[in-house]
Amino acid sequence: MTTNPDHPDKSENSSNFEQQVLTRLEQLSTGVIGMSTQFNSLTDRVDTLSTQVDTLSTQVDTLSTRVDTLSTRVDTLSTRVDTFSTDVEQLSKGFTKLDNEQERFNDRFNDYQRATQWVVQLAFTLIASATLTVIVTSVLRR
């Protein structure tokens, strides 16, 4: 700048003021650049967090699918257990019926066994009686 010889103070004040304005503008520019850097850093952090949230959301969806699958499997197993329970009840009834039939068979078998023993004893008694009759008749005829 040129200095005015008539007013040397004005020119010097004007130069000081311009210098102060330039200094202040440089400070503001540095501050804006710093804020821009911080803003970019925050934007990067938000992007990172957004990516992490997306990843977590995907993982939650996967876990939800797995839980649904497990729930379906549990339902299937529950149905199978109910079926097995019904089958066991039917088998139990069948075994009870078979046990009763076996008991009746054993009673019949015991009755047949006693009857057979009576028939055998009767046969031996008849044989002994016939033998005795033959012997007595032979002795008396002599």
Residue range 73-104, pLDDT digits in tens: 999 999 999 999 999 999 999 999 999 999 99
Tokens at 32, concatenated:
């804006």
Tokens at 101, concatenated:
């039939």
Q: Is the pTM of this model over 0.85?
A: no
Cα angle 135, 138, 142; round to 5: 140
Chain centroid to Cα 52, Å, comes to: 28
pLDDT at 140 over 90: no
Write the secondary structure of 43-81 as one string of H (helix), E (strand) and C (coil): HHHHHHHHHHHHHHHHHHHHHHHHHHHHHHHHHHHHHHH
Q: Which residue has the higher pLDDT, 9 or 5?
A: 9
Model confidence over 103-125: pLDDT tens digits?
A: 999 999 999 999 999 999 999 99
Q: pLDDT tier at 1 (50, 70, 90 boundaries)?
A: very low
- Whole-angstrom Cα distance, residue 62 to residue 53? 14
**Per-residue pLDDT at 11:** 77
Cβ–Cβ under 8 Å, residues 55 and 41: no
**Per-residue pLDDT at 4:** 53
Residue type, 59: Q
Model confidence over 9-65: pLDDT tens digits?
A: 677 888 899 999 999 999 999 989 999 999 999 999 999 999 999 999 999 999 999
